[in-house]
């Protein structure tokens, strides 16, 4: 019987040691999982911040490009308007010169154009 008690005591001691070792292992795994979770959270936050910064940079760049294009079109429109005004002034001066140099021819031309418009209008 003493061997049975000794064997039972040995089994209890090994079971207790095994259980303690398993509890330590489980605690270590839990700690590793918690550390890994923190690392993943940090990585995701860094990625989100980086993505947000890149999106803001892209938005600002696109806005600058649009502003630049609008400024360029505005300058071109102003230049075209200036050129049209210069051409209008030139045509006006040419017509004034033609009217003052040949008043009878101008009146005849105006009558002819009026006649053609009237004839076309009747049809």
Q: Where are the alpha helices (DSSP H) in 1-123?
A: 2-101, 103-122
pLDDT digits (tens, 9 = 90+) for 46-96: 888 888 888 889 889 989 998 899 999 999 989 999 998 888 888 888 888
State the Rg of the chain over Cα. 48
What is the model's pLDDT at position 95?
83
Question: Where residue 109 falls among pLDDT bands split at 50, 70, 90?
Answer: confident
Q: What is the pTM of this model?
A: 0.44
98: Cβ contacts below 8 Å, ≥ 6 apart: 106
Calculate the CA dihedral of residues 36, 37, 42, 46 and round it to 10 degrees. 100
106: Cβ contacts below 8 Å, ≥ 6 apart: 98, 99
| DSSP code of residue 1 | -
Secondary structure string (H, E, C) spanning 65-96 = HHHHHHHHHHHHHHHHHHHHHHHHHHHHHHHH
């Amino acid at each position: 019987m003493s061997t049975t008690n000794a064997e039972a005591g040995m089994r209890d001691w090994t079971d207790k040691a095994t259980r303690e070792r398993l509890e330590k292992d489980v605690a270590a795994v839990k700690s590793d999982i918690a550390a890994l979770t923190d690392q993943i959270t940090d990585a995701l936050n860094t990625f989100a911040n980086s993505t947000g910064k890149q999106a803001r940079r892209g938005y600002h760049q696109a806005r600058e490009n649009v502003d630049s294009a609008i400024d360029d079109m505005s300058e071109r429109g102003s230049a075209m308007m200036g050129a049209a005004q210069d051409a209008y002034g030139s045509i006006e001066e040419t017509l004034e010169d033609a009217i003052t140099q040949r008043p009878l021819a101008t009146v005849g031309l105006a009558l002819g154009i009026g006649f053609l418009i009237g004839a076309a209008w009747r049809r």
